[in-house]
Structure 1
Amino acid sequence: MKEIIVIVVLIGASFVRCMSHQQQSARKPPNIVFILADDLGYGDLGCYGQHKIHTPYIDRLATEGMRFTQFYAGTAVCAPSRSALLTGQHTGHTYVRGNKEIQPEGQEPLADSVQTFAQLLQSVGYATGAFGKWGLGMVGTSGDPIRKGFDEFFGYNCQRQSHRYYPTHLWHNAEKVVLEGNDLSQKKHYAPAIIQEKALAFIEDNKDNPFFLFIPTVLPHAELQGPEDEHYKRYEHAFGETPYKGNGYGSDATVGGYASVSKPRATFAAMVSRLDAYVGEVLDQLDKLGLSDNTIIIFASDNGPHREGGADPQFFNSSGGLRGVKRDLYEGGIRTPFIVRWPGKVAAGSISDHLGAFWDIMPTLVEITAAPQPRYTDGLSFVPTLLGRSGQRQHPYLYWEFHEDGGRQAVRMGRWKGVRLQAKKSADAPIELYDLSTDVIERYDIADKHPDVVTLLRQAMDEAHQENSIFPFYYQGSEVY
C-alpha cells in the first residue's frame, strides 16, 4: 500500500512540474532566431525546387512551418538589404542604400538617429545577439552593432573582410580577435565554424531569458572556399568541373580577391550544405534545451545568387527559374526563400503567396513581442498570415532601388512589376513592365501595351524615393549625382 502511495505522489509531482513548465512557457515571450543567408538564391534549397544540393534541415523548417513564395529581400546587394531589414524601411527611405566602403575597415555606419527592431526588442527585456556579418558600421561608430540593439556581436564587422573564409581576424564586440595561422598561405581557422560555436553558446547562455538571435551567416557568399569535410566529399565527384582560376573581384588579394578553386561547383554545393548543417545544429540546440516549442525561427537570404569566384548559378538553377541574379532588380535578384517556423502557431507545411518584404519584419516582431511601436516603418505586420487569420493588410506597392551600374528602380504592384534601368542618368528613363501573373520570368516587356500602368508605377517610384545626401540617386537640374 505504501508503495502505491509513493508512486501516486511521484506521478502527481511530475504532473505538477510538467504543468508548471507549460504555464511558464505560455507566459514567456517567444524566443526569435533569424537566420540570414548570404547570396543564397531562391532556388538553392530543396524545398524551393533544388535537386543537386542536399538541404534537409532547412527543408525541415518548411515542413514544420510556413514557406513563402513571394517574399522579397531589401534589395539586390548586401548592406542596403540588411539596412532595410533592421530599420523596417525600403531602400527609398532606409539610411544605408549602397555598399559604401570606409577605410581601413568597414562600411558607411547607420546614424545615431536610426532605430532598429533589435533596439525595440531589447527595450522589452530580450537578450540580443548577432553572429556573422554586420556591414552597417565599424566598431566605435554610430553603426556599431552594440549601439544598434545587440548585447553581443561576434563575427565580421566589415563585409569586405567577409570575402575571406579564413580571415586574419574577427570582432567580439569591441575586441579584435586575431586568428593566428590564417593568411594567404595558411588556412587554420575556418571563420564560419568559429562563429557558429558562439551562436550556439548564446542560446545556452540565454536559455532562461527571452532572446533574439540574429545569424547573418556569410555562407554561401563568395569566395568559394571551405574545408574538405563531409559536405565537400558529398559533391567532390558529383559534377563535371572546370577549375576556376584567378582573382576576379577587387585588386586586394588579401581582402577582396578570390582564390583559385579546383572544383567550384562542388565547393559551392558544399557551402550550401554546410549552411544547412549549421541550421540543423541550431535546431538541435533548441531541442536539447527544451526551447523549440517557444521559439520562432525565420530563414531568408539577403539577395539573389552571386556569380563571383567561380559560382555557377545557371548550373544549379539558383534563381529558381526566375530572371536575374545578385545586383538585378528582376525577380531572381530580390525574391528570397522565406520560411517561418513557430510550433503551435504557424501551421506546419503551409505555403503562402503573401506579398511581403524585409521591411515587414519590424512591425511583425513588434506585434508578436508587444515591443514599442517604431518611430517609422514602411512595413506591415504579417502576423495574420502567419496565424491563418483574416484581416491581413496589403501593400499598395513594394519598392526597391539599387545604386550601382547606373542606378535601378523596381516596383511590385499586385500582378505588375516595373523595372527602370540607368535611373541615375535620367529621371525619365523608360520603365519596363511585366505581368507576373502570366510572365513570372519577366521575359516580355509590355510597357507599350499598358501606358496607364506604367504611369502608376512611375508615380510610385517618385513617391517612394527620398533623396539621401550620402547615397544620392536622382539629378537636380542639369547636375547628375
Structure 2
Amino acid sequence: MILKKHALSRLLITALGSMVGLGALPAVDAARKPNVILIYADDLGIGMLGCYGQKIVTTPNIDRLAAEGMKFNNYYGGVFCAPSRWSLSTGMHDGRLGGWKHNAPGLLIRLDKKNTPPEKATELLNQYVEKSSAPIPKKEVFMAQIPQKAGYKTAQFGKLDVGFLTNHDRVKRFGWDFYEGYYSHGRCHGFYPPYLWRNGERFELEGNTRADCGKMSEKGNEPVGEGGETYSQNVFIEGILKYIRDHKNEPFFLYHSTQLPHGPVAIPELHPDYADNDKLSLAEKKYASMVKMLDDHVGLIMKELKAQGLDENTIVAFTSDNGHEMYYGPKQNVHKQLANGEKANLTDNKWRTSNGGDVFDGAGGRAGIKRSGYQGGMQCPMIVRWPGKIAPGSETDILSAHYDFMATLADITGTRMPRGKDSISYLPTLLGKKQTKQHNYVIVNNGFDRMGRSALISQDGWKVVELDRKKDAFQLYNIKKDNEERDELSAQHPEKLSSLKKQLVSELNSKRPDLK
C-alpha cells in the first residue's frame, strides 16, 4: 500500500533515529556479483551536502556514504537535465553530433486537462514520442544493457527518460526489466501526479487530482502539503525498498533517478530541523526539507540493504545530474548577471551562491548555477561506497564525468564495453589501484543551440569556457588553482587558450565513434 502524505515522514524519523561487441568477461567476484545502486539527484548542487561543505542542511546518511567510501572532487555532470541523462545513459560526452535530442514534455498534462480516456491518451503519447524523439540507432548500447548482459536484473525508479517525454517501448529499449515513474519530465515538476507508470501500465495515486501534478509556483509560498495527498517520492522509496526485498537472491542494478530537490518546492511537511527556523523563508524551509528527505531516503535504502544481508555486497553510488539551481528565490537576475559578465568579457563578473543571494550557498562558492558553463553549473558530487573494497573516507581528484559510469559498471559486472564509447572506468581508483587509463580532458556541452557555454576541462586543470563561438568568445581558467573561476587567464596564456579552444570545437563537431 502506498504511504500517503505524512505517513512516510513519520516512518523516516522512527527508522533513522549496441549489443554488438558485448561479451561476457569474468566478474569482479565470480562467486557472487555485487549489486549496484545509483542514486541520481536532480539539480542538487555540490555544496548542498555536508561532506562537501554545507552548513545549514544536515545530510548524515549521504555523508556516511562518503565516510565509508570514496568522495570525488573533480567530477562533472551536464549543465541541465537532458544532456546529463543522455551522457550517463550512453557513455558518451554530450557534445557529440547525432547524440541526444529532447522533445516537448507537456503532452500528457494537456491530455489530462481534457480528461482524455487513458487508452486514447496512451495512443496519442505513442504517436507523439515516435514522431518527436530522436531515433535510437540499432547499434546503440545503453547503461542498463551492460549489467543486463551479465545476467543482472535492472530497475529504474523516478524520471524515466533522458528528456523529456517517453513511452514503454523506449524505456524497455534502454534496458530496464522493471520500471516505475514518470514518462514526462514536465509532470515531474509537480510531486502529486494523478498516476504514474509501472512496466507500461498506469496506476493511480490516491488523493491526487491535478493534471499538472500539483506543480507549485516558483515563489514557493504555497501552504505546506498543498497539491495532493500522495507524494511521488514516497511512492518511489516504497517501491525501491520492496524491489530490494524481492530481488535479494539475485544480482541487480537499481537506478533511482529522483525528482529531489528539483523545484518548484513542494513537501508534505516541513522537517522538524527547519520548521521553526526563523532565519529561513517558507520556500527555504521547504527546500531544506526536500534535501533532508533525499538524505532520509538514502538512509532507508542503506537500512534495507543491511536488513536483507546485502550491505557488504552492494555498491552504492550517489551523484546529481547537473549543478545547483535556486527554487527558493530571490534569484537576483542570476543568468542576466552571468550574461553581462560574458558580454564584457570581464575577468570576474559572475554570480555565485556565496555572494549573499543563496542562504545555503548551494554551489559552494563556485561561479554560476544550472545551465552555466562555469563550475557551479556542471561540477557535481560523486560518492561511491563498497564495503571491503573501497577504503573508508578516501577521496580522489581523478578527472571524471557521468559518461564514465558505464565503463565502471562494465568492469564491476564483468561485461565487455562496446567499442567507441567515451567512457573510461574508474574502478581501479575505487579499489585503490593505479589508474593507468585516464581522460586527457572531459567535455560538457550546454546543448540548447550547441553554440554557447560549453566547456573542456583538461587533466592538468585548464578549462576553456565557450561563451559565443560565432564571435570567437572563449575564456580560460586554471581550476586546480582557481575552482571559483575568479581569474580569467586568456591574455596570459593565449597559446593554451588556442589549443584548448580548437580541441573543444573539434569535439563539439565530432560524430559518434561508437555507432560506426
Counterpart check, 1:234 vs 2:241: no
Residue number in structure 2 paired with 1:174: 200
Counterpart check, 1:193 vs 2:218: no
Residue number in structure 1 paired with 2:75: 71
The separation in 2 between residues aligned to 1:190 and 1:42, in whole angstroms, is 25
The separation in 1 between residues aligned to 2:330 and 2:68, in whole angstroms, is 31
TM-score normalized with structure 1 length? 0.82
Q: Could you tell me whether the CA contact under 8 Å between 1:95 and 1:111 is conserved in 2?
A: no
Post-superposition Cα deviations, 1:271-306, rounded to whole Å, max 9, x if no partner, equal: 000000000000001000000111111000001111
CA displacement at 1:331 relative to structure 2 = 0.7
Post-superposition Cα deviations, 1:334-368, rounded to whole Å, max 9, x if no partner, equal: 11111000111100010111111011111111112
Cα distance change on mapping 1:224 and 1:204 into 2, 3 Å: same
Q: What amino acid does structure 2 have at the position aligned with 1:342?
A: W
Match 1:307 to one of 302, 323, 326:
326
The separation in 2 between residues aligned to 1:306 and 1:346, in whole angstroms, is 31
TM-score normalized with structure 2 length? 0.77
The separation in 1 between residues aligned to 2:401 and 2:192, in whole angstroms, is 32
Counterpart check, 1:60 vs 2:86: no
Residue number in structure 1 paired with 2:455: 410
Identity %: 38
Q: Could you tell me whether the CA contact under 8 Å between 1:447 and 1:454 is conserved in 2?
A: yes
The separation in 1 between residues aligned to 2:298 and 2:444, in whole angstroms, is 29
Q: Could you tell me whether the CA contact under 8 Å between 1:224 and 1:311 is conserved in 2?
A: no
Residue number in structure 2 paired with 1:298: 317
Secondary structure of 2:454 counterpart: strand
Match 1:285 to one of 291, 304, 308:
304
Within-5 A mapping of 1:103-118: 104-105=107-108, 108=133, 111-113=136-138, 114-118=140-144
Secondary structure of 1:449 counterpart: coil
Residue number in structure 2 paired with 1:7: none
Residue number in structure 2 paired with 1:221: 262
Match 1:342 to one of 386, 403, 406:
386
CA displacement at 1:79 relative to structure 2 = 1.4
Secondary structure of 1:363 counterpart: helix
Q: Could you tell me whether the CA contact under 8 Å between 2:146 and 2:406 is conserved in 1?
A: no
The separation in 2 between residues aligned to 1:110 and 1:382, in whole angstroms, is 30
The separation in 1 between residues aligned to 2:98 and 2:251, in whole angstroms, is 29
The separation in 2 between residues aligned to 1:140 and 1:99, in whole angstroms, is 14
Match 1:37 to one of 36, 41, 46:
41
Q: Could you tell me whether the CA contact under 8 Å between 1:123 and 1:371 is conserved in 2?
A: yes
Q: Could you tell me whether the CA contact under 8 Å between 2:106 and 2:186 is conserved in 1?
A: no
Cα distance change on mapping 1:400 and 1:267 into 2, 3 Å: same
Within-5 A mapping of 1:37-186: 37-73=41-77, 75-93=78-96, 97=100, 99-101=102-104, 104-105=107-108, 108=133, 111-113=136-138, 114-136=140-162, 138-140=165-167, 144-182=170-208, 183=210, 184=214, 186=227
The separation in 2 between residues aligned to 1:173 and 1:191, in whole angstroms, is 17
Post-superposition Cα deviations, 1:401-423, rounded to whole Å, max 9, x if no partner, equal: 11337632101012111101133
CA displacement at 1:96 relative to structure 2 = 5.1
CA displacement at 1:166 relative to structure 2 = 0.9
The separation in 2 between residues aligned to 1:39 and 1:206, in whole angstroms, is 30
Unaligned runs of at least 5 residues, structure 2: 1-28, 109-128, 215-225, 332-352
Residue number in structure 1 paired with 2:400: 356
The separation in 1 between residues aligned to 2:493 and 2:157, in whole angstroms, is 47
Match 2:436 to one of 372, 388, 392:
392
Secondary structure of 2:144 counterpart: helix
The separation in 1 between residues aligned to 2:402 and 2:63, in whole angstroms, is 21
CA displacement at 1:116 relative to structure 2 = 0.7
Q: What amino acid does structure 1 have at the position aligned with 2:453?
A: R
Post-superposition Cα deviations, 1:181-234, rounded to whole Å, max 9, x if no partner, equal: 2225751110100011111111111100000000011000011001115x2x32
CA displacement at 1:168 relative to structure 2 = 2.1
CA RMSD of aligned residues (A): 2.2
CA displacement at 1:429 relative to structure 2 = 2.3
Residue number in structure 2 paired with 1:420: 466
Q: Could you tell me whether the CA contact under 8 Å between 1:268 and 1:311 is conserved in 2?
A: no
Q: What amino acid does structure 2 have at the position aligned with 1:329?
A: G
Secondary structure of 1:402 counterpart: coil
CA displacement at 1:309 relative to structure 2 = 5.4
Secondary structure of 1:447 counterpart: coil
Match 2:248 to one of 207, 210, 225:
207
Q: What amino acid does structure 1 have at the position aligned with 2:202?
A: K
Q: Could you tell me whether the CA contact under 8 Å between 2:96 and 2:507 is conserved in 1?
A: yes
CA displacement at 1:66 relative to structure 2 = 0.3
Structure 1, 448-457 or 129-138: larger mean CA deviation: 129-138
Post-superposition Cα deviations, 1:212-270, rounded to whole Å, max 9, x if no partner, equal: 000011000011001115x2x3202224345xxxxxxxxxxxxxxxxxxxx01110000
Which structure has the larger Rg? 1
Residue number in structure 1 paired with 2:364: 320
CA displacement at 1:310 relative to structure 2 = 3.6
Q: Could you tell me whether the CA contact under 8 Å between 2:83 and 2:447 is conserved in 1?
A: no
The separation in 2 between residues aligned to 1:209 and 1:311, in whole angstroms, is 48
CA displacement at 1:333 relative to structure 2 = 0.8
Cα distance change on mapping 1:463 and 1:311 into 2, 3 Å: same
The separation in 2 between residues aligned to 1:350 and 1:431, in whole angstroms, is 35
Cα distance change on mapping 1:102 and 1:32 into 2, 3 Å: same
Q: What amino acid does structure 1 have at the position aligned with 2:317?
A: I
Cα distance change on mapping 1:226 and 1:96 into 2, 3 Å: farther
Residue number in structure 1 paired with 2:485: 442
Q: What amino acid does structure 2 have at the position aligned with 1:197?
A: E
Q: Report the count of equivalent residues.
A: 418
Q: What amino acid does structure 2 have at the position aligned with 1:60?
A: R
